Amino acid sequence: MSAPLIAIDAMGGDFGPHCIVPASIACLVEFPSLHLVLVGQAPILEELIARHPAVDRARLHVEHASEVIGMDERPSQALRGKPDASMRVALELVRSGRAQACVSAGNTGALMALSRYVLKTLPGIDRPAMVSPVPTATGSCQLLDLGANVDCSAEHLYQFAVMGSVAAEALGVTNPRVALLNVGTEEVKGNQQVKLAASLLQQARGLNYTGFIEGDGLYRGEADVVVCDGFVGNILLKSSEGLAAMISARIENLFTANIAARLVGSMALPLLRRLQGDLTPARHNGASFLGLQGIVVKSHGAAGVEGFQSAIRRALIEVRENLPQRLHGRLEDLLL
């Protein structure tokens, strides 16, 4: 394929261009064929880029956008009131074909609303879903939805399962195991939507549906794709991040409590650092908006340089795997 070009909403997130510019430049070094377009207020971006004189400007371009969507703005306001916002201009680059993907750390609701308006959904998909990898005992699983759809019907959950399975295949998982997150594994457990979704998935052709899964089963690695509504998924994701940070902090405190603990800690420190690296949210940052006619990756708003790099990497994988086209090609076979 030709050199991939990704549009970056450089004004989004808690840290804006001061984080996004160095993260983008680091990705250009990591991937020599990658091209990036930084979208935002050009004077600010050019000033930050100038601090990196070694950057290959043939692969780093700036697209001026005069407006910025605030992290607390209503999606409707962003949709109607800011036609020259960096987020919208980046999405327009994808729609026009100038870019193959968009990455943003900006307002999630605004990004979803603008993505649906600018790029549209794939045929057969009612709502896009946010999906991201979650670390497990055996590697990771794809969890969706992560907050884009708080109230979901059984049909929506079914569509999420189909999209999650195709996404997992694109990431290298053969015949991915798909499960519905529930309060128990027995068929009688769960609310009406989950039970109806299970009935639909049991009838699906070409989908490796394994049944219900509980939260502990997710972390044991019993599924490659775990499906739930956005209300549950967002709480699960944020709780997981908070738990990982709390355990890491407590372990460090234990190993620095006294001289004896510090001696033991000095021997265990390399393994602890490795564990922290495996579980850190930055390594798994980047939620894909599945179901759109284009690739959109949402970075955590509070992500630092390393975290935003992970989001760009996720977008690059989806570009190389031609994920929207793969989804479109499978939807007719898998959707009822």
SS3 212: strand
CATH, residue 180: 3.40.718.10
Contact (CB, 8 A) for 312 and 295: no
Per-residue pLDDT reduced to its tens digit, 202-246: 988 889 999 999 999 999 999 999 999 999 998 988 888 788 778
**Residues 241, 195 share a domain:** yes
Q: For residues 111 and 14, what is the distance between their CA atoms, to the nearest angstrom?
A: 15
SS3 227: strand
**Residues 187, 70 share a domain:** no
Q: For residue 99, what is the enclosing H or E element?
A: none
Residue 121 lies in a domain: yes
In this prediction the pTM is 0.87
- Max distance between CA atoms of the chain, in angstroms, equals 64
The answer to whether residue 267 scores a pLDDT higher than 70 is no
70 exposed, middle or buried (CB, 10 Å; 0-12, 13-18, 19+)? middle
Average pLDDT over residues 276-282: 55
Q: Which residue has the higher pLDDT, 1 or 68?
A: 68
Within 13 A of 121's CA, how many CA atoms are on the CB side?
Answer: 16
Residue 229 lies in a domain: yes
**Residues 303, 223 share a domain:** no
Residue span of the structural domain in which 312 resides: 1-125+291-323
What is the count of structural domains for the chain? 2
pLDDT at residue 334 in the model: 64
Per-residue pLDDT reduced to its tens digit, 124-148: 888 899 998 888 888 889 999 888 8
Residue 276 lies in a domain: yes
* Cα–Cα distance list, 20 to 44, 104, 285, 312 (Å): 12, 9, 14, 10
Amino acid, res. 46: E
